[in-house]
A and B are shown apart, each in its own frame.
Chain A
Amino acid sequence: GENVEQHPSTLSVQEGDSAVIKCTYSDSASNYFPWYKQELGKGPQLIIDIRSNVGEKKDQRIAVTLNKTAKHFSLHITETQPEDSAVYFCAASRETGFQKLVFGTGTRLLVSP
């Protein structure tokens, strides 16, 4: 079955720095890749997603890149702020049919003032 690996498991940056989280997936049929942010005591919140027909997508300080040949995708956060501190999860699924999201193991991001 599908397997998604995520690195690093923890990431500490200074406020204003950039943060990059990387994921690889195993199922070549996967073509939908969302990223979720989970704060303590809350459910995951979608922050950005990308589909296989594009290589990059940007939303203000957040961007995601996708390399289907290498089967990896990355989350980029620029100008980090303390409120960006949370656990981030990547996920993968096939876009058509009934979707089953397969999640990575998560990255704990800590942004220090």
Chain B
Amino acid sequence: QSVLTQPPSVSAAPGQKVTISCSGSSSNIEKNYVSWYQQLPGTAPKVLIYENTERPSGIPDRFSGSKSGTSATLGITGLQTGDEATYYCGTWDNTLRAGVFGGGTTLTVL
């Protein structure tokens, strides 16, 4: 059972938009920045979003992040088949004094 809750899967057609939610609590998301990671099969995770909304250089603006209260959201527009991957949210938990990840959301581009 993950501290952060994500939907197990989402799907959408190529070119469409999808959002992935990440629900936490006052001890983690509400008080700390959230990062989002993309993991393609058999590879290490890659950061897409940091500090809730910021994109590292090289990450296309099709990827966006937002945060409100105890929840965060990853948005992906203009879906491509290459976006098929598992996406994770992550942050620090002040009560646990530990890093925490969501359980991961598998994106299928139909």
Task: Answer yes or no: are A and B bound together in one complex.
Answer: no
Chain A: residues with CB nearer than 8 A to chain B?
none
Q: Which residues of B contact A (CB under 8 A)?
A: none
